[in-house]
Amino acid sequence: RLPTVAIVGRPNVGKSTLFNRLVGKRVALVDDRPGVTRDRREGDAKLLGLEFRLFDTAGFEDEDPSSLPGRMRRQTEAAVGDADVALFLIDGRQGVTPLDEEIARWLREQETPVIIAANKAEGRAGESGRLEAYALGLGEPLALSAEHGEGTVDLFEALRPFV
Ligand code: GDP
Ligand code: MG
Domain extents in the chain: 4-159
Beta strands at 50-56 and 41-47: parallel, antiparallel or unpaired: antiparallel
Using CA atoms, how far residue 107 sits from 25, 77, 101, 116, 151, in Å, is 28, 9, 10, 10, 23
Predicted ipTM beyond 0.90: yes
Return the pLDDT at 50: 96
Of 114, 132, 35, give the one whose Cα is nearest residue 103: 114
The answer, yes or no, to whether any atom of ligand 1 lies below 6 A from the CB of 53, is: no
Does 57 appear as a known binding residue?
A: yes
The answer, yes or no, to whether any atom of ligand 1 lies below 6 A from the CB of 120, is: yes
Helices (H), the chain: 15-23, 70-82, 98-108, 127-132, 152-159
Confidence band (pLDDT; 50, 70, 90) for 108? very high
Return the pLDDT at 161: 97
| pLDDT beyond 70 at 138 | yes
The answer, yes or no, to whether any atom of ligand 1 lies below 6 A from the CB of 62, is: no
Q: How confident is the model over 39-53, as a mean pLDDT?
A: 88
- Span from the CA of 33 to the centroid of ligand 2 (angstroms): 9
Report the amino acid identity of residue 42.
E
Q: How confident is the model over 140-152, as a mean pLDDT?
A: 97
Does 137 appear as a known binding residue?
A: no
Domain 4-159 is in which class? alpha beta
- The burial class, CB within 10 Å (0-12 / 13-18 / 19+), for 18 is buried
Of 140, 103, 99, give the one whose Cα is nearest residue 118: 140
Using CA atoms, how far residue 132 sits from 61, 77, 97, in Å, is 22, 25, 10
Tens digit of pLDDT for each residue in 56-65? 987 666 555 5
Residue nearest to ligand 1 atom 9, measured at CA = 14
- Span from the CA of 25 to the centroid of ligand 2 (angstroms): 14
The answer, yes or no, to whether any atom of ligand 1 lies below 6 A from the CB of 32, is: yes
Return the pLDDT at 26: 60
The chain-wide mean pLDDT, for the chain, equals 87
Of 152, 117, 159, 157, give the one whose Cα is nearest residue 134: 117
Whole-model pTM?
0.90
Which atom of ligand 1 is nearest to 17's Cα?
7
Which atom of ligand 1 is nearest to 146's Cα?
23
Report the amino acid identity of residue 124.
R
| pLDDT beyond 70 at 40 | no
| pLDDT beyond 90 at 39 | no
More confident residue, 102 or 85: 85
